[in-house]
Structure 1
Amino acid sequence: MDARRPLAGLRQPWRSSHALLLIPIVLILVIAVVDQLVPADIHLGPLLVIAPAITVSFAGPWPTGLIGLLAVGAQAYIGWHFGVLFSRNVLVQILALAVLSALTVFYCVIRERRRRQLAQVRMIAEAAQHVLLWPLPEQIGPMKVACLYLAAEAEAQIGGDLYAATPTDNGVRVMIGDVRGKGLSAIGEAALIIGAFREAAHHHTALPALAFALEESVARNLPTLESEEERGERFATLMLMEIPDEGHIIRILSCGHPPPLLLSHGSAVAVPVHPAPPLGIHGPAARDDYTVDVFSFEPGDTLLLYTDGVIEARDADGVFYPLAERATRWAGSSPEKLLHHIRRDLLDHVGGSLGDDAALIALCRTPTGTQGRRHGHGFDVGRFGHARDRSAR
């Protein structure tokens, strides 16, 4: 990351706020001049209170205090000009203006303190996001990759949705999931699952064994993360994928997670999967209860993974976001452009604010010269293969 970007971002607001200071300064000068031109029974001096009042909206304590001081000075000049500086009425006006200016400066101090605290919270949230959800590289094995995370919490960078990918000896394994709940309360369980996946993905040769290991980890550690009110109600949907380096296939194991979309030849089709129960529902299941669905994944195809925060997003009329329909429009785009289009369209659909965390991953198979179709796996791979991969036991 370019370290100069934050400095450039800070420099522009500084210049803008100082340019805006011309507005209250000009306003003070105009009021002071016009007050001397109007009839003697019309007093415009009290209008000087507008200057510090508008300055507080865009400037910090020192500029606001300076404008307040100028306004007090202008009020004193008007009283001196008319020879009534030490009259009771003018002295009260000067005192009231000084008190109001002091209050606006105090408000600025409190606001700037809260702004710094909020900036620190955002920095911590961003650091937590990078620690927990490592940014996926643009290329993993035979695939181009792009990912997107939209947190429901206004000031959060991360919530209960999760994803991870790791290369193995025979290919790439990808996980996407959704922990029940959102915001900070779900981060602990998301971290537990991601940590378990990153370790177990390299120790289990088959997806059912990997899912079994994740279920065991959740069953063993979840009670320490649950509150008394949530006892027995915490679970996570999960989808595990394996893309071999050789052969144009992909293996999927779903634990209650929405099926992915396959974008190919200008269309978006939901991949039929046979889901097992979500993690944390019934405890560790038998490995035979997991079904590995296998289908072809040709060069140029794009697989779109998502969480239910995307498809359950509603507009003002309560209509769900039509992900498959919208994704069809951009079926030929690169993963990065595809997620860019979906992000903009999704936020437009919901009016700018999501009700639940949302995560998406786009995987595009790139042509390679060494890939060929594997045989002898105990299944027949059509466009979508519904049989279990017996070699994955």
Structure 2
Amino acid sequence: MGQGTGDLGGRFLRWLPFGVMAVIGTADFLGGPGAGYLPLLSLGPAFASLSSGVRRTAWIGLLSVGLCVALAVYNHLLGSRGSYLALLSIVGVTAAAMLAAESRERKERELHDIRTVAEVAQRVLLRPVPRRAGSIHAAVSYTSATARARIGGDLYEVVTTPDGVRVIVGDVQGKGLDAVETAAVVLGAFREAAYDEPDLPGVALRLERALSRHLTGEQFVTAVLAELGPGDKAGLLNYGHPPPLMIRPDGRTELAEPPDVAPPLGLMDLTTSRPPSFEIDFGPGDQMLLYTDGVIEARDAAGRFYPLVDRAHLLTAAEPQEALDKLQNDLIEHVGGPITDDAAMLLLRHRHK
């Protein structure tokens, strides 16, 4: 829907100069020599600079000059002081419009290059997750806010270790390439620590050390770390992140709220204690949805947040990716246009034995 509206707006802007010149030309033709509308023909190239390139703006300016001359001849005004002033104003506005069009195109190219670099960097960082890891099936979705050039720092990773599966979903404070760079630090540290450390607090400590060497000021990263072993339990650590949504085989839902509040990664110096990991039931048929705040903070046209818990019933498809795609489509439909923040979701499903 948003793309169709954008296309309609683009076509309107492209045809607007011709419509304006047609209206002004008709008014001057019907008004006669005393109407004095000829200088207003400069609005054609002025409006053209909003959406057209330099060459098209110049052609519209030339068309405006031609129309001005034709009307001046028709009204027997060619050679008069008024006709010269009208032509001079059209030429001046056309020159200014061409400069404006060139400046706009240059900025659009720069924005496109920045957006492309950030998108490529993010795709390199966010590798495809394994679809199966032991008894766990995984699926991921990522809805980007690049329509507004607001590349974010949402991150996720699934690492299979000899003792089970370790997972992280996080969100870097801020936007742009700085956030992508911080996400790279977190993911690099996690991929190593997930293999080396004996428990989740050890993994989190490695992440904190990596961030302490990278972050400046009061920057931080919210994150949830999960550990899924061969049994029917899952270990979790939550650092200021939205709690995972648990969906039981009978359709019941619950949020895996942490028993202890922990500050985000990068701000652990604010507390003297390290939060322990906590366990939740995660047996055959259970599902765990980890997500970033771009999901639950997505608003519809009336300003209502996306009701994630109420939409959990959408995650019933046989394949996790199909189920998650259905939830993602519902999120986009709820917003009804471009989202204002990146939204990442990672679905983990414990398959039946």
Bin for the TM-score computed over the shorter chain: 0.7 to 0.9
Mark the CA change 1:33 to 1:234 in structure 2 (over 3 Å): closer, same or farther: closer
Residue in 1 that maps onto 2:149 = 155
Equivalent pairs counted in the alignment come to 336
1:241 aligns with 2:226: yes
Residue in 2 that maps onto 1:252 = 235
DSSP-derived class of the 1:136 partner? coil
Mark the CA change 1:297 to 1:338 in structure 2 (over 3 Å): closer, same or farther: farther
- 1-structure distance, mates of 2:95, 2:328: 49
Residue in 2 that maps onto 1:146 = 140
- 2-structure distance, mates of 1:83, 1:32: 15
- 2-structure distance, mates of 1:107, 1:71: 18
Residue in 2 that maps onto 1:218 = 208
- 1-structure distance, mates of 2:237, 2:24: 71
DSSP-derived class of the 1:156 partner? coil
Query: Pairwise CA RMSD of aligned residues?
Result: 3.8
Contact 2:295 2:331 in 1 (8 A): no
Amino acid at match of 1:194: L
Amino acid at match of 1:267: R
Q: How does 1:21-170 map to 2 (within 5 A)?
A: 24-25=17-18, 28=21, 32=25, 35-136=28-129, 141=134, 142-149=136-143, 154-159=148-153, 161-170=154-163
Taking structure 2 as the reference length, the TM-score comes to 0.78
Contact 2:119 2:151 in 1 (8 A): yes
Contact 2:145 2:339 in 1 (8 A): no
Mark the CA change 1:173 to 1:40 in structure 2 (over 3 Å): closer, same or farther: same
Output one character per residue of 1:21-47: Cα deviation in whole Å (capped at 9) or x when no partner: 666447646755664454443344234
Mark the CA change 1:116 to 1:40 in structure 2 (over 3 Å): closer, same or farther: same
Amino acid at match of 1:193: V
1:360 aligns with 2:345: yes
Mark the CA change 1:284 to 1:207 in structure 2 (over 3 Å): closer, same or farther: farther
Output one character per residue of 1:112-136: Cα deviation in whole Å (capped at 9) or x when no partner: 0101011011101101211222243
Amino acid at match of 1:68: G
1:342 aligns with 2:331: yes
Contact 2:129 2:138 in 1 (8 A): no
How far apart are 1:165 and its partner, in Å? 1.1
Runs of at least 5 residues in structure 2 that lack an aligned partner in the other structure: 318-322
Residue in 1 that maps onto 2:199 = 207
- 2-structure distance, mates of 1:30, 1:50: 11
Q: Which has the larger radius of gyration?
A: 1
Contact 2:247 2:288 in 1 (8 A): yes
Contact 2:245 2:255 in 1 (8 A): yes
- 2-structure distance, mates of 1:319, 1:243: 34
Runs of at least 5 residues in structure 1 that lack an aligned partner in the other structure: 1-8, 372-393
Matched residues, percent identical? 32
How far apart are 1:72 and its partner, in Å? 0.6
